[in-house]
Structure 1
Amino acid sequence: MNKDSFAKSTETLKQTVPLMIKHKVPTTPANYALWYTYVSQESPLLNQAMDGEIAAQGQCTPTTCEQLYHQHIATKAVQDISQLKQSLTLMMQEVSHSMTDTLTETESFQLNLDKGFTKLESAEREGLSLEETMGLVRGLIKESRNIQLSTGAFKSQLNTAQQEIATLREALQESQKEANEDALTGIFNRRAFDRDIDSVQQKNIPFSLIMLDIDKFKIFNDSYGHQLGDQVLKAVSRRLKESCREQMQAYRFGGEEFAIILVNKNHSTARQHAETLRRSIERISVLDRRNGERINTITASFGIAEKSRAETAEEVICRADTFLNDAKKLGRNRVLPLS
């Protein structure tokens, strides 16, 4: 590196660190790389995306920083990790099935050996000389016992491998849980919600929170099946995502419950948004392909809370969730509080 390059890098770094401090960005290696590239203006698309995010949200949330890092900074190998995990999971499932089949075939082979021994004993009784018969029997018994020992060891190895695969699959599932995106609906998940609301709280940014829950979803699943239930979750998630304009972000909070963080928005704005969304969900229609029936009875209940100065993020969530439960008790398909 020549002196000019070193001086330029130093100057860029001097601008990067204060900017990260200003926006209260955690000082992780990925964030350093992201904000260093932003300051250096080496990636116009990155700068455009970050400027747009900061203008809309007043900040760059941890979830967004991570997304931008993967989109603009990370190597292709890093970007492909998620796909690799999925492929590896599928591969392990196939290997596991193959192992199960092999175990079955091995047991069948041993059964056939036992039948063969019975036939040899019959042949001895039906005409071979004692010496010839016993020589044949001794040789085959010795060989078959070797095979039995070999297959026994093979079965043990397969059982061990299956246990290792089960352990690895569990580890991969745990790793996949760390992703920011909900696999079914495509919107942000609970992990992203927790990170982002903590970030807003730590930066003392005003916000309101909408919590919503699909009405009678368990009964819906029991009546129409989980596949149709998944269609409903996807449809509601699309409505949430489409409805979120500047300084709003939607998340799947868990099961059939969702959340929307509205940065720099007051209670009145949050309630108006929730009411618009409630009416939009009422219009969702899904087709049951099993019988051609169209389902038009999907509704959701909402709870709203605006953060006060003294509240923690957990207290805001609890308050919004309480209003949500009250909305369900009062007949569902409504937004609370009323004002």
Structure 2
Amino acid sequence: MFDYTHEHAQSQEILRLVLVELNSLNLPPNPIFFTLLYERALKRDASLNKDLDDALNSEGGLTADRAQEIFDTHLLNGAIKEMSKAQNTLLRIIRNVMMQMLNTGNEFSNYAVSLGDFVRKIDRADSVQDLRLLTAEVIEDSRAIERSSMETSDRLTNAGDQITKLKEELEAARRDARTDPLTGLPNRRGLNDMIQQKINEFIQNKTEFCLILADIDHFKRINDSYGHLVGDKILRFVARTLMSNVKGQDTVIRFGGEEFAILLPDTRYEGGLVVAQHLRQKISAARLRLAESGRNLGGLTISLGIASIGINDTPDTLLRRADDALLLAKSEGRDCVMGIPTKSDSADTTEIL
């Protein structure tokens, strides 16, 4: 993100498109709206474009608050800022350590020169008193360099402790950047990388895999009826249920809003359909009740779309097919599984369970 080093003609064309769209949507040309539409025109982040399209097509349209949320999620992540801050601190510590080591080197160099002088003076000494004075100087200089070495060792130890702490903070920031704070699941920031890794394995070893997108049915109605706190509890419940009903290397991801992605490595299309149907049944069989008040919320359903890897797939094309399958599931009345197989999977274009 924030890489806008394009050719002049390309930048002008994108600028023209963005201004036309801002005008047609009746949006103010502030930096947030402008940057989001500019990124959308570049078509380099499918998840950002999906969020933006969903917001634009929603009943309320792209509000300032929603635009800020999308901007923060995709372009300004707090954990990434912390990583940058920690990296700068780490560089400063390393520079200080290097300077300390250079200074120590100079001290040892000066000490060697002093010892050379002492050797020459000893050669010229003609009394015990002279030798005693020279010996005292050597001892004092030796003690001085010993003290300096101990101080340097302490500084290096302290710097090492700081570097270890920073390493832990950087690792925590990296985890935070890829973790959804509400559900504890991986977020979609790393999903494209996961899919690309599986694509590489498919190209090398023909190891097939599937991607499922699952969406909670009528989630807006839940929020409107019970409030966002209950909505958050619903999201955590669905996350737990999905997690407890996949196995092995299967990965559940909070894709955004009320939507989840499930990556199924080493799974053919037919097996993916079975998994998706099992997940749907587990959710629909549950009866929900609020622990605090005892209020019954009734049942809950999800719709799922599944796509399997194809020979020419990229992360974006696989996500798009899974999303198309999910839209088909919604259009079929929800609480169902729809799949869009590749040509090698089936002669059919869709399948309903």
Q: TM-score range by the shorter chain?
A: 0.3 to 0.5
**How high is the TM-score relative to the length of structure 2?**
0.46
